[in-house]
Amino acid sequence: MKNRIFSGIQPSGDIHIGNYIGAIRNWAQMMDDYECIFCIVDYHAMAGKYDPKILQQRIMEAATVNIACGLDPDRCAFFVQSHVIEHTELTWMFNCVTPIGELQRMTQFKDKSKHQNQNINVGLLDYPVLMAADILIYKAEIVPVGEDQIQHIELCREIARKFNATFGETFPEPQAHLGKHKRIMGLDGKNKMSKSLNNYIGVLDTDDEIWKKLKSAFTDENRIKKTDPGNPDICNIYSLHDALSEADTISEVNQDCRKGRIGCVDCKKKLHQSLSFHLTPIRDKADFLFNNPDKVQEILKQGAMKSKKIAEETMREVRIKTGFR
């Protein structure tokens, strides 16, 4: 029996290389060793600014990019959250064991409340409870995520503990699984790479678009002249090399930067080459799938059928334990 993992991604805009390096690439590498369930979490996207007219298009884009990045429907279940309605039923059960104070202290809730201060809705506060239901409805033991989600996974463990203590042992306490590159910084060098901050490189950006973004990207601010020795440890361009370039390029850039033998522009050019090498096959596969949306829809349908069986079984057990026969 393989351990089960669950993870999700929102269809809330372009998928960026932070999502790819911090999450999707790890998911694709875990498919042989775990029983994998991956999900487009469309209900989560509703808590932010979203346009119902293009929601389905966003879902298809997110699904297409994830498959192009390596999710293989033969080795994982991949589906849309709202197609397995049990997620929301379990959320209600979990709402009733979750202290409101725990939700109010979540960093992401505080940050997002600042960014969308005209729309601080209950969904924004309740987001981590829906996330706990997404994970626990499959009794997943491992959740591969980026660092920004660690606090939510801790809360998920607490919700599992509270539910088990109230209604009897039902759920495991899942562990977060972080890859080597758990927090990719945005091109501003100050904040996490993020759609809403528009500081990202999209997985589907063209080479020209990527170069335009890289040209103005933040580097080691202490380096004034090209010949000044730089410090790769504090340079965001170097961290992106570390996440994406070949080993010999990483070590060459590291040494040349410290000795002032390579300037920031040339370092960015090398990164641009690595990005192009890495993203071209993904873009090609995505192009093929955009022209064959029925293939993507079929994958999502099969994934929902597989996942729904597990979700229904968990809900049967939960309804009995909570007195809703």
Nearer to ligand AQP, 177 or 268 (CB): 177
23 vs 203, which CB is nearer to ligand AQP? 23
Of 139, 195, 213, 269, the active-site residue reads 195
User: Two tokens at 249?
Assistant: 């390029």
> Which is catalytic among the residues 139, 192, 269, 306?
192
Active site residue 195: yes
Shortest Å distance, C-beta 59 to ligand AQP: 12
Look at strands 4-9 and 35-40 and give their pairing: parallel
Structure tokens of 101? 């104070």
Return the DSSP state at 185.
Answer: B
23 vs 180: CA distance, rounded Å: 11
DSSP three-state, residue 229: coil
**Least CB distance from residue 199 to ligand AQP, whole Å?**
9
Pick the catalytic residue: 112, 182, 268, 270?
112
Q: Is 182 a catalytic residue?
A: no
Cα four-point dihedral sign 23, 29, 32, 34: negative
At its nearest, how many Å lie between ligand AQP and the CB of residue 165?
A: 28
**Cβ closest to ligand AQP, residue 193 vs residue 262:** 193
- Tokens, residue 169: 């042992």
Task: Please report, as ranges, the residues that interact with ligand AQP according to CB under 6 A.
Answer: 9-10, 12, 18-19, 22-23, 48, 145-146, 148-149, 183-184, 192-196
To the nearest whole angstrom, how small is the minimum distance from the Cβ of residue 149 to ligand AQP?
A: 4
Of 325, 306, 309, give the one whose Cα is nearest residue 317: 325
Cα–Cα distance, 95 to 91 (Å, whole number): 6
Q: Which amino acid is at 173?
A: E
Residue 252, both tokens: 């060459």
Q: Which residue has the tokens 């790769």?
A: 232
Residue nearest to ligand AQP (CB): 22
139 tagged catalytic: no
Distance in angstroms (rounded) separating the CA atoms of residues 4 and 13: 28
Contact of 237 with 270, CB cutoff 8 Å: no
State the virtual CA torsion across 30, 36, 40, 41 in degrees, nearest 10: -110
258 three-class SS: helix
Helix or strand or coil: residue 16? strand
Beta strand ranges found along 13-72 (DSSP E): 35-40
Q: State in angstroms the smallest separation of the CB of 152 from ligand AQP.
A: 9
Question: Min. distance of Cβ 55 from ligand AQP in angstroms?
Answer: 14
Distance of closest approach, residue 234 Cβ to ligand AQP, in angstroms: 17
Amino acid at 295: K
Q: Active-site residues: which are they?
A: 112, 192, 195
